[in-house]
Amino acid sequence: MFAGRFASCFVLLLSIAFFTKGDATLAAPSKGAVLGTILTKINTVADDYVVFHESITVFDGSPETLATIQKQERTIEKHLQDTIMTAEVSPHLNKTGSKQIMRALEKPYPTFMSDLLDNITYKEPIFKKTGSKRMVLDWLKCLYSLSNELPMALEKITVKSDADQIESGRKWSNALFTKSLAVYEG
C-alpha cells in the first residue's frame, strides 16, 4: 500500500518537474495574473489544512471520521500539487508581490502546522487501533514531500529576503514532519 501511494506521489512530483522544465511556447500570463492565481491557491491550501485539522481533531476511530480524513488529505495533496505547478512556471516577483506571498503563507501559520502534526501524533493510538497507521504514514510522507516542494518553488520567485524566510519555515516544517513520521514509523 505504501509503495503504491508513495510512488504515485513521487510520480506526480516528477511530472511537475518534467512539465515545468519543458519548452514554453505558449504566451506567458502577466505577472499580476500569475500572482493572483498563486495567492488564491495558497489560500485554498491553507483552508484545506484547517478543514483537515478539524477532521483529525474529531477523529474517533469510526469509519465515517476516517473517510472524512482521507478525503481531506487527498484534497490537500491535489491543491498542493496545483500550487507547486503554478509557482514553478511563475516569473520572479517584485518586492510587493513577494510580500503578498509572505502574507498568504501566514495563514493559518505560524503555529498551525505544529498543532496539526502534534494532533496527528496524539491520535496515533486510534489510527493504530483501526488498522490505519500505515495509511497515515503514507500520507504523512506524501504531505511532507509536497510541503517541502512548495516552499522551494516559492523561494525561486520571491525576493531574497523573503526566500530566506521561506527557507527557514521549510526547515522548521521539515523538522515537525520528521518528528511525526518517527512516531508512525515506530
Cβ(152)–Cβ(112) under 8 Å?
no
Q: What is the pLDDT of residues 124-147, one digit of tens each?
A: 999 999 999 999 999 999 999 999
In a domain, 165, yes or no: yes
In a domain, 122, yes or no: yes
Single out the residue of 52, 58, 56 nearest to residue 76, CA to CA. 52
Cβ(155)–Cβ(166) under 8 Å?
yes
Q: Label residue 109 by pLDDT band (50, 70, 90).
A: low
Single out the residue of 169, 49, 37 nearest to residue 100, CA to CA. 37
Q: How far apart are CA 108 and CA 173, in angstroms?
A: 13
pLDDT of the residue at 112: 87
**Of residues 1 and 30, which shows the higher confidence score?**
30
Residue recorded with cell 511556447: 25
In a domain, 16, yes or no: no
Residue 150 has pLDDT above 70, yes or no: yes
In a domain, 25, yes or no: no
pTM: 0.81
Q: How many domains does the chain have?
A: 1
**CB atoms near residue 174 (< 10 Å):** 14
In a domain, 60, yes or no: yes
In a domain, 153, yes or no: yes
**How does 26-42 read in b/e, with b if 16+ C-beta sit within 10 Å?**
eeeeeeeebbebbbebb
Question: Which residue segment(s) compose the domain that 117 sits in?
Answer: 30-185
Residue 30 has pLDDT above 80, yes or no: no
Q: Label residue 186 by pLDDT band (50, 70, 90).
A: confident
Single out the residue of 131, 113, 127 nearest to residue 179, CA to CA. 113
How many residues are there in the chain? 186
In a domain, 56, yes or no: yes
**Of residues 107 and 77, which shows the higher confidence score?**
77
Task: Provide, rounded to the nearest whole percent, the portion of the chain with pLDDT above 70.
Answer: 81
Q: Please tell me the least confidently modeled range out of 9-13, 166-170, 182-186.
A: 9-13
Residue 24 has pLDDT above 80, yes or no: no
Q: What is the pLDDT of residues 47-62, one digit of tens each?
A: 999 999 999 999 999 9
**Phi and psi, residue 26, nearest 5°:** -85, 155
Cβ(129)–Cβ(65) under 8 Å?
no
In a domain, 167, yes or no: yes
Residue 31 has pLDDT above 80, yes or no: no
